Amino acid sequence: DIVMTQSPDSLAVSLGERATINCKSSQSVFYRSNNKNYLAWYQQKPGQPPNLLFYWASTRESGVPDRFSGSGSGTDFTLTISSLQAEDVAVYYCQQYYSPPWTFGQGTKVEIK
Amino acid sequence: QVQLQESGPGLVKPSETLSLTCDVSDYSISSGYYWGWIRQPPGKGLEWIGSIYHSGNTYYNPSLKSRVTVSIDKSKNQFSLKLSSVTAADTAVYYCARHEKPSGSLIPYYFDSWGPGTLVTVSS
């Protein structure tokens, strides 16, 4: 199984400041044949199901604000919130879809400082 | 916009079988996606359980495979989960989700629509 490890487990950021979440996979999730990274990011607000933010590591899902960005390749990926808003308080998960079983990171909780 | 809704008992006794159904609306379950189950123990992370295609092809998490069956009913536009021999460790919120499978791909990828989830508690 591909193990996904996120860091930090939680972070507190002031409103308007940058939040950065890291995700590392135990093996590369990059396919050379199509030049794509098989990685997704989700946001889960309290009491709600996860919501897809990004796929292919950096392709933003429709409706996701552009203050969110995804980057990285191979085994190291980053989700960045450029200017944290109150509604961004949530737990964020990465997920690999390079090979089954599909696995998620343990989650990173983002709070307001 | 596809809608998914989980249903089933909220309380299951240890050693019994957990059974849940996911009703899909505003989208035909036969139209080319996989359909999956994911669970989340209280206060913990996400664990993929299994996914099914309209053809009946399934993928299961090896950690649960011996106890899991996912089935599909195209006439009712729904799919189901059965998890046998449950213990307290199976207490979780269970989500059903649409598991994106682009044309040309052999396997599904990410989960692009989720149900609201249903809490299942295993307790006597």
Over residues A94-113, the pLDDT tens digits come to 999 999 999 999 999 999 99
Question: What stretches in chain B show pLDDT beneath 50?
Answer: none
The predicted structure's pLDDT at residue A41: 98
A94 min Cα distance to partner chain B (Å): 10
Which residue out of A54, A94, A97, A103 would a mutagenesis test of the B interface target, given it has the greatest number of B Cβ atoms within 10 Å? Answer: A97
Measure the CA–CA gap between A84 and A68, rounded to whole angstroms.
Answer: 9
**Which residues lie across from B55 on neighbouring strands?**
none
The predicted structure's pLDDT at residue B105: 83
Measure the CA–CA gap between B112 and B69, rounded to whole angstroms.
Answer: 22
Contact flag B46-A50 (C-beta cutoff 8 Å): yes
The predicted structure's pLDDT at residue A43: 98
**Which residues lie across from B114 on neighbouring strands?**
B97
Nearest alpha carbon to residue B119 among B92, B95, B99: B92
Over residues B65-85, the pLDDT tens digits come to 999 999 999 999 999 999 999
Which residue out of A102, A103, A108 would a mutagenesis test of the B interface target, given it has the greatest number of B Cβ atoms within 10 Å? Answer: A102
Over residues B37-50, the pLDDT tens digits come to 999 999 999 999 99
Contact flag A97-B109 (C-beta cutoff 8 Å): yes
In this structure, are residues B23 and B118 in contact, taking their beta carbons and an 8 Å threshold? Answer: no
Contacts of A47 (CB under 8 A, 6+ apart): none
Contact flag B63-A100 (C-beta cutoff 8 Å): no
Over residues A26-52, the pLDDT tens digits come to 999 999 999 999 999 999 999 999 999
Burial of B45 (0-12, 13-18, 19+ CB in 10 A): middle
